[in-house]
Chain A
Amino acid sequence: MAVAPQTLGPAPEVLPETAAVHWRPRADDARLRRLGRLWTLTTAAHVVPFLGAAALLIWLNPLALPVALACVAHAWVIPELYAQRGANVVRARRRAGDGPERRALGLLGDLVGHDARELHARTGLVLEPGRLGTWLVGEAGALLLRGDRGRRVHCYCVRVDERVAAAAELPSGDRIAHLLLALRADEQGFATIANLAFSGARWRLRRRLKAPMRQAIDAAVAGLDRRSSDRA
């Protein structure tokens, strides 16, 4: 039986930088869900043995309470350290001079809407709704809020390639503009190139962020809520 040739639409734009990470599967919704589950399992694998050991020690001998408490502390600290690693991806970097920063912010402001501009002024992060979730883009990393009310956050370490000499001198606004343009051109490619530093509960990450950046998380959640109610 003859098969009619399929009509293909234009090939989706793929970031050329993905060639540098050719071994990574292209990020998509299913892959991000799998990665999220894997992070949850890894966290459980770190936490459960310590909690189990604490319970066992107390059951064997109540005098072992101090050691049991140390085990519980380990079970608490390890996920916190991972969350801190996630928070570090959006930590503010060294600023360039006032003039270049202002000029760079002017260009960034032209790329985003009024609300995103205002949020960036308060928090240092640019909110960008995407197909994989809602992004908060910083100078050297991005947060992706996904799922129901953004309960899961993926923290990506991604930046202007510093092997290029000119990259080191870029003002903060330009660094964000670089990431934003790449994200807008190919969201899946962007998530493929970026290194995943943490994936976990939003509340765990939120407490590790500085107060202004928590407002950006809240704004992203509000945006997700609006999108959900628009779809309903």
Chain B
Amino acid sequence: MSKLIIMDHTGHSTLAEWTPDDPVAVEAAVQAFREQLDRGYLAMVSTGPGHAEQVRELPLNAPLVILRLPIAGG
């Protein structure tokens, strides 16, 4: 089961869960994913120890997709 989570004031919240063979769940996940990208969130996927990648389309096979806010110099 793959998960789309967003880091927020609660620690994190799960926005969607899906398996690639469940089109209804996938559609809901894609919609939730796009909504958050439109709000300015960036989607990240871990790609191995010490590596992460930003994704612009929901990777259906990724076990965990994390939504983060942009960063800036302080």
Which residues from chain A sit less than 8 Å from chain B, CB to CB?
Answer: 13, 15-17, 20-21, 89, 96, 99-107, 110-111, 113, 128-130, 140-141, 156-164, 166-167, 169-171, 173-174, 177-179, 181-182, 184-185, 190, 193-195
**CB–CB A166/B69 < 8 A:** yes
**CB–CB B51/A184 < 8 A:** yes
For chain B, give the interface size range: 20 to 34
- Minimum C-beta distance from B13 to chain A (A): 9
Bound-complex Cα distance A107 to B11 (A): 8
- Interface flag for B1 (CB, 8 Å): no
- Minimum C-beta distance from B70 to chain A (A): 5
Bound-complex Cα distance A173 to B10 (A): 11
- Minimum C-beta distance from B18 to chain A (A): 19
- Minimum C-beta distance from A20 to chain B (A): 7
B1-13 interface mask toward A, CB cutoff 8 Å, 1 = contact, 0 = none? 0000101111110
Bound-complex Cα distance A17 to B40 (A): 11
Q: Given the known A-B contacts A16-B70, A157-B73, are A178 and B10 also in contact in the complex, defined by CB atoms under 8 Å?
A: no
- Interface flag for B66 (CB, 8 Å): yes
**CB–CB A13/B54 < 8 A:** yes
- Interface flag for B23 (CB, 8 Å): no
**CB–CB A107/B12 < 8 A:** yes
B24-64 interface mask toward A, CB cutoff 8 Å, 1 = contact, 0 = none? 00000000000000001010101001111110000000001
**CB–CB A185/B7 < 8 A:** no
- Minimum C-beta distance from B59 to chain A (A): 14
**CB–CB B74/A159 < 8 A:** yes
Q: Which residues of A contact B68 (CB under 8 A)?
A: 160, 177-178, 181-182
**CB–CB B11/A173 < 8 A:** yes
List 29 A-B residue pairs with CB atoms under 8 Å apart, sorted by A's residue number.
A13-B53, A15-B71, A16-B42, A17-B71, A20-B72, A21-B73, A100-B10, A101-B11, A107-B5, A113-B49, A141-B74, A157-B74, A159-B71, A159-B72, A161-B71, A164-B69, A166-B69, A169-B9, A170-B8, A174-B7, A177-B7, A177-B66, A178-B68, A178-B69, A178-B71, A181-B52, A184-B46, A185-B54, A190-B71
